[in-house]
């Protein structure tokens, strides 16, 4: 079993979930969940170039 946790923007999480729905879930058993979090030290997190550009599933 693999467990991955990441802190990303809502837009990025929606893009990832769309990709999973289209490309991964039809062939693999995957559980995905999204939670809202409050980051205490926001200065430790910055918006990268990838976060500014919405990734669209292929």
- Per-residue model confidence (pLDDT) at position 20: 95
pLDDT: which is higher, 58 or 33? 33
pLDDT on residue 32: 94
Q: DSSP string spanning the chain? A: ---------HHHHHHHHHHIIIIITTTS-----------S-GGG----HHHHSPPPP-
Each residue's pLDDT tens digit, 4-50 = 998 888 999 999 999 999 999 999 999 999 999 887 887 777 666 55
- Any idea which residue has 């809502």 for tokens? 10
Please tell me the pTM assigned to this model. Answer: 0.66
């Amino acid at each position: 079993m693999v467990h991955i946790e990441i802190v990303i923007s809502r837009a990025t999480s929606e893009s990832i979930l769309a990709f999973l729905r289209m490309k991964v879930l039809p062939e693999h058993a995957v559980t995905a969940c999204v939670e809202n979090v409050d980051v205490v030290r926001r200065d430790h997190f910055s918006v990268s170039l990838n976060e500014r550009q919405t990734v669209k599933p292929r």
